[in-house]
Copies of this chain bind each other. A is one copy, B any other.
């Protein structure tokens, strides 16, 4: 059987190809099964990154293939059209390699809108999904991750969209959290059915009727307590909550600046709160496994992002491979 194959956008992210490549080498150093990796980006920059990183020990279990991408996406490009007009950009090529059956999963730290656009138009939406979503993993008090969606792809959501997010999250949690019947909740400002905005109350009604794992509303305080495996909200709320959660770890550490001893002990105990541990979040509602890493990802975050993508792909790759004919790099 062919090794698991990832397409990585090495041009994505704020720090350039060398940092992304450093993260990849770090990641494969921590992974023992065979892997193949397409490095999508400018071939000269990839070559110099390899030169800079020549001190990093290479592993036998991984094969790298350079996918030269001469084009660059600019913020002036249109997200819904860049998959065509910038077909030779690194972000679009990653996704296209999946469509061509050459890669099992894509990872990019580039602009979410372009990654989403390429995914929708090249890979296509899953049946019944009008708007794909970006999902994130949150730490919880009972040590299991919770899936939060949407976290920024859809700012305002109609009730039907929220209900679809619930179904997408349920399916993802079933496949990836090893749960037969994951619990799904809608984020709201109260627990009673009469509380909150109309679209959320209507989504509550839709989900009650259609989703077996649906358990009703959850408030902001219930998100991290692990009261649901999947938490559904609009992309504005999800985005601010995700970034707020991510900042909590930094706040705790900064409050402990004066006590380095304590900070060191604490670091292990609350490392579940460290956003760097996941590194990447999946796009849901897409026919394929696409992961988005933070633009500001350091090499360590890229490494964790890569491994998150690998572990997810390990679980779902058979499905994905069944969808597309697959060739070797």
> Is B197's CB under 8 angstroms from A220's CB?
no
Per the 8 Å Cβ criterion, residues 132-155 of A in contact with B are 139-141, 152, 155
CA distance A233 to B189 in the complex (A): 14
> Is B242's CB under 8 angstroms from A220's CB?
yes
Q: Which of A82-90, A115-123, A244-252 contacts B (4 or more CB under 8 A)?
A: A244-252
> Is B255's CB under 8 angstroms from A270's CB?
yes
Per the 8 Å Cβ criterion, residues 220-251 of A in contact with B are 220-225, 233, 235-237, 239-248, 250-251
A273 at the interface (CB under 8 A from B): yes
> Is B250's CB under 8 angstroms from A141's CB?
yes
CA distance A25 to B139 in the complex (A): 39
CA distance A251 to B272 in the complex (A): 10
- A153-165: contact bitstring with B at CB < 8 Å (1 yes, 0 no)? 0011000000000
> Is A269's CB under 8 angstroms from B273's CB?
no
A254 at the interface (CB under 8 A from B): yes
CA distance A133 to B281 in the complex (A): 35
A219 at the interface (CB under 8 A from B): yes
With a cutoff of 8 Å between Cβ atoms, the chain B residues found around residue A139 in the complex are: 251
- A253-279: contact bitstring with B at CB < 8 Å (1 yes, 0 no)? 011101100100110011011000000
With a cutoff of 8 Å between Cβ atoms, the chain B residues found around residue A256 in the complex are: 266, 269-270
A193 at the interface (CB under 8 A from B): no
A196 at the interface (CB under 8 A from B): yes
Pick from A236, A241, A243 the residue with the most CB of B within 10 Å: A236
> Is A189's CB under 8 angstroms from B236's CB?
yes
A103 at the interface (CB under 8 A from B): no
CA distance A40 to B219 in the complex (A): 30
With a cutoff of 8 Å between Cβ atoms, the chain B residues found around residue A265 in the complex are: 259, 262
CA distance A240 to B185 in the complex (A): 14
A299 at the interface (CB under 8 A from B): no
> Is B244's CB under 8 angstroms from A189's CB?
no
With a cutoff of 8 Å between Cβ atoms, the chain B residues found around residue A203 in the complex are: none
- A173-199: contact bitstring with B at CB < 8 Å (1 yes, 0 no)? 000000000000001010000001100
Give the nearest-CB partner of A263 in chain B: B269
With a cutoff of 8 Å between Cβ atoms, the chain B residues found around residue A266 in the complex are: 256, 262, 266
The 6 closest A-B pairs by CB, nearest first: A220-B243, A220-B240, A221-B243, A220-B244, A221-B247, A189-B239
Additional 9 contacts, C-beta under 8 A, given A237-B237, A241-B244, A252-B270 = A139-B251, A152-B189, A220-B244, A221-B243, A233-B240, A240-B241, A256-B269, A258-B269, A262-B269
